[in-house]
């Protein structure tokens, strides 16, 4: 049995099917956009369920128009993915200043580095910039250095609030070399996955703050019969993670097991910010700066005050090497952001000015009891004196404030007549605060 196939007649320029409605050659048809008739163009395309038509000339013009504006549209889309559509380095620095007092240089370095990091990621999805098509931008991790209580962790936490990207804080003191008791270096990615709700794409564009990184410094320069599993061993384990590698992470955190399925995370686009107090680094810096050169024409450096609060601004790579960091790890942190010690004036501003200042926090606690809280200026100055004696920066301010207000906070909920509490200098020294009662409340 022989089958024959009949080919459909070739469609003419003036015959188009549009959702069941047919336009035929009995009446002329025109392009809805330019007005050309079917005889003037090669093709007319009809819109589904509409009488609108577009010719091949208008289609080509629209394609060229979209291609001309595609880089701009792609850039806006990529910026929205990064969470930086409405941010610039200046706006990031301004947002950090609402929570962190002083440290202007560190905030500027942090703002520029974070902004450039996401421009680097977006550069891979955008049309290449003319003349730089083959140029690949490398990742620049950041190292925050400064005495304790100067705002390193607060800077990192504030970034988490203002950027729409996954953010996690990991503690370097719990890390050990693989195979020993403690956390593997890959475990720091588990908290980032949790912050991203296990969305792998978002997690691979996140930020990790590695706290207390100075604690993984090499313990000594001399050779030892035992391995430095929480010092140099951790530094070597971090190298590939910081530069960019595909790491296997347990889905629920903890240590790896052979039978456990792993989540493979690419760290190429994850920005690492490390911070530490680096106790003793200031002595290394001063020793280098105070070396006396020998020879004719030698230039003697100006003497640096050992009590200066900004000694970390003179840090160099060789100082970190002597501190106990291996050269490979120093190279993974090309951006150094030193933080200065806080002066008396800065400590006073920390107490009163930021959005989450301690004085504002305690005033809110008292306001929840219907009581107004007031601090006299001499009382705040004595709090600062005690904090400076402890030598732990702004970190000790809260403990002093808690100690000062403990008794009044204990009795306040039972005092229905209290209307206002005034903290004087004697209160900070151990005396009683001035409590103003209201007869009207008692009634």
Of residues 83, 110, 265, 268, the one with CA closest to residue 191: 265
Q: Answer yes or no: do 71 and 205 share one domain.
A: no
Per-residue pLDDT at 303 = 52
4 lies in a domain? no
Of residues 322, 278, 287, 279, the one with CA closest to residue 306: 287
Q: Answer yes or no: do 291 and 368 share one domain.
A: no
Q: Answer yes or no: do 261 and 237 share one domain.
A: yes
Each residue's pLDDT tens digit, 136-179: 788 889 999 988 888 888 898 888 788 878 888 888 887 876 55
| Longest CA–CA separation in the chain, Å | 114
Per-residue pLDDT at 332 = 92
370 lies in a domain? yes
Per-residue HEC secondary structure of 218-271 comes to CCCCCCCCCCCCCCHHHHHHHHHHHHCCEEEECCCCCCCCCCCCCEEEECCCCE
Domain harbouring 363, CATH code: 1.10.8.60
Last residue in a domain, options 23, 47, 82 = 82
Q: Of all residues in the chain, what percent carry a pLDDT higher than 70?
A: 74
Domain harbouring 109, CATH code: 3.40.50.300
CA 120: distance to chain centroid?
A: 15
Q: Answer yes or no: do 30 and 19 share one domain.
A: yes
User: Residue 420 burial by CB count (10 A; 0-12/13-18/19+): exposed, middle or buried?
Assistant: middle
Per-residue pLDDT at 290 = 74
Per-residue pLDDT at 38 = 84
186 lies in a domain? yes
Quick check: 186 and 247 in contact, CB under 8 A? Answer: yes
Each residue's pLDDT tens digit, 389-425: 888 888 889 999 999 999 999 998 888 888 999 999 9
Q: Answer yes or no: do 426 and 329 share one domain.
A: no
Per-residue pLDDT at 331 = 92
Per-residue pLDDT at 23 = 47
Residue 72 has pLDDT above 70, yes or no: no
Q: Answer yes or no: do 23 and 147 share one domain.
A: no
- Provide mean pLDDT across the span 232-240: 84
Q: Answer yes or no: do 116 and 224 share one domain.
A: yes
- Provide mean pLDDT across the span 362-379: 93
331, HSE (Cβ side, Cα atoms, 13 Å): 8
Per-residue pLDDT at 45 = 84
Residue 374 has pLDDT above 90, yes or no: yes
The larger pLDDT score, comparing residue 206 to residue 224, is at 206
Per-residue pLDDT at 363 = 94
Q: Answer yes or no: do 28 and 166 share one domain.
A: no
Last residue in a domain, options 22, 50, 82 = 82
Of residues 133, 329, 93, the one with CA closest to residue 233: 329
Q: Enumerate residues 6+ apart whose C-beta is below 8 A from 360.
A: 352
Domain ranges, residue 395? 344-442
Tokens 């790491």 label which residue?
247
Per-residue pLDDT at 77 = 46
Per-residue pLDDT at 2 = 41
Last residue in a domain, options 297, 320, 338 = 338
Of residues 174, 169, 138, the one with CA closest to residue 274: 169
CA distances, 122 to each of 74, 84, 113, 134 (Å):
9, 11, 14, 15
Q: Answer yes or no: do 63 and 176 share one domain.
A: no
How sure is the predictor about 381, in pLDDT bands with cuts at 50, 70 and 90? Answer: very high
What phi and psi values does residue 21 have, to the nearest 5 degrees?
-95, 130
Each residue's pLDDT tens digit, 14-66: 334 333 334 444 567 888 888 888 888 888 888 766 678 889 889 888 877 77
Q: Answer yes or no: do 178 and 40 share one domain.
A: no
Token pair of 415 as six digits: 């005092």
Domains: count for the chain? 3
- Provide mean pLDDT across the span 248-253: 74
411 lies in a domain? yes
Q: Answer yes or no: do 65 and 91 share one domain.
A: no
234 lies in a domain? yes
Q: Mean pLDDT for the chain?
A: 78
Q: Of all residues in the chain, what percent carry a pLDDT higher than 90?
A: 23
2 lies in a domain? no
288 lies in a domain? yes
Tokens 């395309």 label which residue?
45
User: Which ranges of 100-170 would DSSP assign to H, the alpha helix?
Assistant: 104-123, 152-162
Residue 73 has pLDDT above 50, yes or no: no
Quick check: 350 and 400 in contact, CB under 8 A? Answer: no
Per-residue pLDDT at 101 = 86
3 lies in a domain? no
- If you ran DSSP here, which 8-state letter would residue 183 be given? B
Residue-wise burial string across 300-332, b where 16 or more C-beta atoms lie within 10 A, e elsewhere:
eeeeeeeeeeebbeebeeebbeebbbbeebbeb
Each residue's pLDDT tens digit, 270-319: 999 999 989 888 889 888 887 655 555 545 445 555 455 578 888 899 99
Per-residue pLDDT at 181 = 53
Q: Answer yes or no: do 162 and 308 share one domain.
A: yes
């Amino acid at each position: 049995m022989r089958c024959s196939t009949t080919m459909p007649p070739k469609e003419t320029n003036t015959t188009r099917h549009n959702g069941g409605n047919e336009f035929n050659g009995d009446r002329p048809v025109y392009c809805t956009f330019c007005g050309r008739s079917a005889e003037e163009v090669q093709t007319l395309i009809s819109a589904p369920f509409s009488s609108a038509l577009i010719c091949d000339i208008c289609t080509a013009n629209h394609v060229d128009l979209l291609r001309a504006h595609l880089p701009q549209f792609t850039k806006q889309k990529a910026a929205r993915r990064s969470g930086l559509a409405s941010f610039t380095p200046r706006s990031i620095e301004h947002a950090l200043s609402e929570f962190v007092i002083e440290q202007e240089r560190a905030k500027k370095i942090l703002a520029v580095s974070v902004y450039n990091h996401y421009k680097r990621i977006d550069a891979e999805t955008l049309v290449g910039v003319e003349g730089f098509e083959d140029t690949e931008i490398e990742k620049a991790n950041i190292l925050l250095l400064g005495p304790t209580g100067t705002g390193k962790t607060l800077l990192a936490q504030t970034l988490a609030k203002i950027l729409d990207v996954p953010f996690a804080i990991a503690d370097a003191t719990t890390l050990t070399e693989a195979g020993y008791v403690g956390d593997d270096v890959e475990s720091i990615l588990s908290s980032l996955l949790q912050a991203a709700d296990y969305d792998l794409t978002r997690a691979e564009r996140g930020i990790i703050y590695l706290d207390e990184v100075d604690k993984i410094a090499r313990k000594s320069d001399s050779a030892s019969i035992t391995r430095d599993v929480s010092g140099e061993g951790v530094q070597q384990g971090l190298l590939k993670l910081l530069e960019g590698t595909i790491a296997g992470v347990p889905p629920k955190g903890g240590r790896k097991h052979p039978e456990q399925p792993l989540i493979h995370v690419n760290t190429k686009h994850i920005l690492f910010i490390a911070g530490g107090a680096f106790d003793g680094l200031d002595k290394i810096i001063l020793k280098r700066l105070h070396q006396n050169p020998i020879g004719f024409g030698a230039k003697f450096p100006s003497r640096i005050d050992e009590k200066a609060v900004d000694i970390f601004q003179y840090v160099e790579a060789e100082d970190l090497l002597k501190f106990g960091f291996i050269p490979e790890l120093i190279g993974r942190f090309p951006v150094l952001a030193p933080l200065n010690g806080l002066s008396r004036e800065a400590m006073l501003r920390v107490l009163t000015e930021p959005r989450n200042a301690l004085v504002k926090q305690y005033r809110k606690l008292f306001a929840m009891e219907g009581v107004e809280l007031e601090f006299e200026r001499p009382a705040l100055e004595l709090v600062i004196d005690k904090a400076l004696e402890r030598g732990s920066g702004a970190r000790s301010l809260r403990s002093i404030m808690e100690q000062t207000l403990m008794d009044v906070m204990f009795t306040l909920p039972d005092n229905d007549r209290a209307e206002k509490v005034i903290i004087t200098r004697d209160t900070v020294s151990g005396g009683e605060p001035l409590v103003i009662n209201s007869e009207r409340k008692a009634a």
